[in-house]
Amino acid sequence: MPDDDEETRRGPRGFWSGTIAFGLVSLPVSLFVASRSGSVSLRMVDEDGTPLSRRYFCSREERMLEADDIVRGYEVEQDRYVVVEDDELESLAPEKSREIDLQRFVALSDIDPGYFERAYFLVPGEGGSRPYRLLARAMEDAGRAGIATFVMRGKEYLVAIVSDSGILRAEILRFHDELRSPDHVGLPAVSEPAKARVAEIEKSMRKLQADELNESELEDHYVQRLESLVQRKLKAGEDVVRAPEETQPSEHESAEVIDLMQVLKERMQEENIVDGASRRGPAAAGGKLESRSKAELYERAKSLNIAGRSSMSKAELIKAIRNAG
């Protein structure tokens, strides 16, 4: 087992790790988020700067509800629900697995872009650089995407494994019934337009034609204006409030910023390929609770059989775990 210094030299890890498996191939990989939200999140605070939390309110009894008072209901018709308990939901969850099960390869061009929901980079694990390169090259040359399933945080996902410039990417796919057809939104039937009008449109398009997409055109100007406004007010000391010291920072404020491409570069530069690299199990449950992710805290609360855990915030999970201990 590697020591702490060795683990530190390897750099940050992805939030999910496992193996890509098909046939006799078993490739260790980690998942890294391939995108991030560019929108600015405005917290709801009171006039003194204290962050506000959402609570559930019963309009019939006119009282605030605690976590133990709340159950989930599936609406079968208006104002009629079938209650589903936490343990029933947990019994429906897929079996835990650390395997991305590649089931078939299809032409990448056959996948409607509308199915793509969000993307993750696949980074090779220890001893996986050589098979990673081989798989990425073979898939890219063939123009094929691998269709696979895997379980993450108690939910099974359908993904397309895509190779682009030697990098493997896992695209989470929407299910077939989640896409609307043109008929659903009332689009008119396709008809043949007049050739003269088509030529007119093509001429207008040529005037705006560019050789390549300029990334500066993809910037969010609203976010830039909002951030400039905040900086101006901060510099002028206008409308600046400070939360009480006991307020905990949000998960976004304390999240580690990972240089993904640096991680990928380091993994791909491995000199020695170790055959049969061992798979690592989930992280130990010890350590400070505040440093754990919400998913890890939920699993800890589940093992302690804490009621109402599925509706708790990260801070509430920490408090409940400490009380249970």
What does the pLDDT look like over 105-130, one tens digit per residue? Answer: 999 999 999 999 999 999 998 888 88
Chain centroid to Cα 278, Å, comes to: 26
H or E element that contains 155 = strand 155-164
222-253 pLDDT, tens digit each: 888 888 888 888 888 888 887 766 544 444 43
Terminal CA-to-CA distance of the chain, rounded, Å? Answer: 30
In the chain, count of helices (H) and strands (E)?
9, 11
Look at the alpha carbons of 287, 153, 25, 142 in this order and tell me if their dihedral is positive or negative. Answer: negative
272-316 pLDDT, tens digit each: 333 333 333 333 334 477 777 777 788 788 878 787 777 777 888
Q: Where in the chain are the domains? A: 12-74+82-180+258-281, 286-325
pLDDT band for 269, please (50, 70, 90 cuts).
Answer: low
pLDDT band for 267, please (50, 70, 90 cuts).
Answer: low
Say what the pLDDT of residue 253 is.
39
For the chain, the C-alpha Rg in angstroms (whole number) is: 25
Q: Which two tokens stand for residue 319?
A: 């408090």
H or E element that contains 99 = strand 99-107
Using alpha carbons, select from 77, 76, 56, 75 the residue that is nearest to residue 65.
56
Residues with Cβ within 8 Å of 243's Cβ and at least 6 positions away in sequence, in order, are: 45, 48, 49, 50, 51
pLDDT band for 259, please (50, 70, 90 cuts).
Answer: low
Residue 69 to residue 72: CA distance in whole angstroms: 10
- Domain 12-74+82-180+258-281 class in CATH: mainly beta
pTM above 0.75, yes or no: no
Other beta carbons within 10 Å of 124: 24
Residues with Cβ within 8 Å of 40's Cβ and at least 6 positions away in sequence, in order, are: 223, 226, 227
Look at strands 63-64 and 167-173 and give their pairing.
Answer: unpaired
Strand partners, 77: 80
- The label of the residue with tokens 């398009």 reads 205
Look at the alpha carbons of 145, 146, 149, 152 in this order and tell me if their dihedral is positive or negative. Answer: negative
